[in-house]
Amino acid sequence: MSTAGKVVLVTGVSRDLGRRCARALAATPGVDRVIGVDVVPPPGDIGDVSFVRADIRNPVIAKVIAKEDVDTVVHMSVIATPGSAGGRHTMKELNVIGTMQLLAAAQQAPGLRHLVVKSTSTVYGASNRDPAMFTEEMEPRRAPRSGYAKDAAEVEGYVRGFSRRRPEVRVTVLRCANVIGPQVQSPITSYFRLPVVPTVFGFDPRLQFLHQDDLLGVLQHAALDGPSGVFNVAGDGVLMLSQAIRRLQRPSVTLPGFAVGSLGSVLRQARLADFSPEQLSFLTYGRGIDTTRMRTELGFEPRWTTAEAFEDFSRSLTPTGGYATRMIDTASRLVDPVTIEHTEAGQGARRG
């Protein structure tokens, strides 16, 4: 395998993260060419990426892989919400059938050396019987029955099948925590963008985030020299939902679980927020993933911690609450001058 002249195929470039990833890969030294594939052209600038309009759900993709002599495939088109795709049926078609076709095409391609799949930590589910931190070997406590989580689990199943049939191809599966960032449009960001954030009564889930730059970083890292295996990818540390909302300085409203669920579907139908049904259990029980292997085996170190990534995201939002903070700040300013004097006097006394 010649290191100079990697040809990378990226699926799902019509979406923002896919496009950014393709561009970042194109700018990486050691990558010769990047081919972006999607059913609709990307809305923004794709730089040096050559776009091929192809549907991964039909065998055309095999021809693209063969003709362009692709050696690395970065599969990013597993989507979390129907959104623009138009309905759960289409979403499932895209996710599952698309992956099957892509893998079938990849199996026929003799030149393929490396497959990178962007999966999600949603495959672990979220329930009250979850361990605090999921490691890569752990199974979800309840098998997902519907939606994105089921799609992601099936995609991973097909990827495992592929790696059995083509053992010489390195297969890197990245189970990423919720990607967050100023430009990210996802169920979790649209949830936090609501002016009043609904929470589930009596539960305070733990959340982990991955900054969008780190997602690009890890995909780049994995596409260049990622080892075989499954890796959890998330920023350091966790945030409680209550803590996150307070940091956003947004008011929250506490509702019983079923009400949050139905509010979510109302919001989705009104196209106000991209609220997915699996999100309800996530917002009830939360989830934590262990990232030891990401450091030791994958050799990737995220630059943003969970809290920093969230802070970067919150900077793009205008706070709709935060009156209490302002009141406390005013009170502190009234007290502070005296205090500073006191503490300085105290320190002076201690020094002297």
Partner 1 sequence: MGDAEIIPIGTRGRPGRGSGNARPSSAARNLAGGGTPPKRPAEPESSSTPPRTAAPPTRAAPPKQAGAPAPTPTTVAPTTTRERAPLAGITVGEWLGAFQFAAKELFGEQWEPQLARFLAFLRRRVTGDYPIDEYGFDAEMTERFLMTALRPIAEKWFRIEVNGADNIPAEGGALVVSNHSGTLPMDALMTLVTVHDHTGRHLRPLGADLVFRMPMVSSLARKSGATLACGEDAERMLAGGELVGVWPEGFKGIGKPYAERYKLQRFGRGGFVSAALRTGVPIIPLSVVGAEEIFPLVGNVPSLARLLGVPYIPITPFFPLFGPLGLVPLPSKWLLEFGEPIRTDEFDEGAADDPMLVFNVTDQVRETIQQTLYALLMQRDSVFKGSRSEPELPQ
Burial readout 2-36 (b: 16 or more C-beta within 10 A, e: otherwise): eeeebbbbbbbbbbbbbbbbbbbbbeeeebebbbb
Using CB under 8 A as the criterion, what x/- string covers residues 230-249 for binding partner 1?
Answer: -------xxxx-xxxxxx-x
Choosing from 69, 204, 213, 308, the residue that interacts with partner 1 (CB under 8 A) is 204
197 counts as binding partner 1 under rule CB under 8 A: no
Nearer to partner 1, 89 or 342 (CB): 342
**C-alpha 344, offset from chain centre:** 47
Which residue from 124, 148, 275, 285 is in contact with partner 1, where contact means CB under 8 A?
285
Q: Looking only at residues 118 through 147 of this chain, which bind partner 1 when binding is defined by CB under 8 A? A: 128-133, 135, 138
Question: Going by C-beta distance under 8 Å and a sequence separation of 6 or more, which residues neighbour residue 224?
Answer: 6, 28, 30, 31
Q: Is 135 exposed, middle or buried (0-12, 13-18, 19+ CB in 10 A)?
A: middle
Interface pick for partner 1 out of 227, 336, 344, 347 (rule CB under 8 A): 336
Give the contacts of 261 (CB within 8 A, at least 6 positions apart): 277, 280
Cβ closest to partner 1, residue 48 vs residue 329 = 329
CB of 146 to partner 1, least distance (A): 21
- Strand 239-240 to strand 178-180: parallel, antiparallel, or no bridges (unpaired)? unpaired
Least separation in angstroms between CB 316 and partner 1: 17
- In sequence order, the 6+-apart residues with CB closer than 8 A to the CB of 274 are 81, 83, 185, 186, 187, 190, 268
Site string for partner 1, 291-330 (x = CB under 8 A): ---------------------------------xx--xx-
Using CB under 8 A, list all residues that contact partner 1.
Answer: 128-133, 135, 138, 200-204, 206, 237-240, 242-247, 249, 285-286, 288, 324-325, 328-329, 331-332, 335-336, 338-339, 342-343
